[in-house]
A and B are shown apart, each in its own frame.
Chain A
Amino acid sequence: MKKLSVVVAGTGQIRDVEIQPGTTAGDILHQLNLSDYLLSRGPNEPFFANAESVYDKVKDGEKIFASTKAEVGIAVCA
C-alpha cells in the first residue's frame, strides 16, 4: 500500500488516498469523484492515462496533481 496526496489544482485542496498495487489513475479519479480531471506528477510531467497503473510510478507519500482537461491547439494543429 502507498499513500498519496492528490492536490486538486483549481482549489488547492489536498485529498489523501491509500492505493494498492495495480490501482489506475482512473480508479483514483473515480474514487475522488474527479471524473473530468487528469492526474500527473506535476506540470513538467505527462498525464497518467486513465487505465495506467499509478502504483509503480509514484513513491509512498508523494504529492500528485489533478487538473482539468485542457489542450493547446486549434482544429488544424491539435
Chain B
Amino acid sequence: MRVRELGTRPAPVTMREILSQLVRGHGPAIFVRRREIPYWQERRWTRNGRTYTGSYQTPHAAFQGRIEEGWSGHLDFFLRHPSREIEQGGHWSCFVPRGDGWYLVHMARRPKDVSSGIMTIERLITEAYR
C-alpha cells in the first residue's frame, strides 16, 4: 500500500514532555493546535444567511467577491471590477455583467462547496496574470 493514513490524533502529553526533555538547552515544546476550518473562513470570507462576502486573493491581485447559495444548494459566484488581465484572459466570455461592476462567473462544472469555488476562481485569476 502506497498511502498510509495516519489520522489526526495529537501526541499524548507525557510523550511530548519526554521528547522535550531529550532536547538539551531548550525549554519544553509548546504544542500548537492547528485550526481546522473551511477555506472560505481561512480566507476571512463572512456569511450572512445564504450570501458569502469576501475577496478572491492571489499573489497578483485581490478582487471583491460574493457568493449566493440558492435553496437547492446551487452556488453563484460573483466578482467585482475584474482587471484588464482577466478581461484579456481565456475565460472572459464566462463573466456575465450583473451591474455596478459585478460579474457572475459562469461555471461549466459547478463546485460542490463554497471553498472549492473560491479556489477555482483564485486559480483562474492567477492564470490570467501568468
Contacts and interface: CB of A to CB of B under 8 A. Distances in A.
Interface of A: 3, 7, 9-20, 22-23, 27-28, 30-32, 36, 40, 43-46, 65, 67-78
A9 B108 contact: no
Given A9-B116, A16-B8, A67-B116, A74 B106 contact: yes
A37 B4 CA distance: 18
Interface of B: 1-8, 34-39, 41-42, 58-59, 90-91, 93-94, 105-124, 126
B36 A13 contact: yes
B95 to A, nearest CB: 9
Given A43-B122, A72-B107, A74-B94, A16 B7 contact: yes
A1 B28 CA distance: 28
Given A15-B8, A16-B8, 20 more contacts: A7-B39, A9-B116, A10-B38, A10-B112, A12-B37, A12-B39, A12-B41, A14-B8, A18-B6, A32-B3, A40-B119, A45-B123, A67-B113, A67-B116, A67-B120, A68-B112, A69-B111, A72-B121, A72-B124, A74-B106
Nearest to A5: B34
Given A72-B91, A73-B94, A65 B126 contact: no
Given A44-B123, A68-B111, A69-B111, A12 B94 contact: no
A22 B3 CA distance: 10
Contact of A12 (B36, B107, B110, B123): B36
A17 B3 contact: yes
Contacts of B113: 9-10, 67-68
A12 B7 CA distance: 15
B38 A44 contact: no
B111 A75 contact: no
A42 B125 CA distance: 13
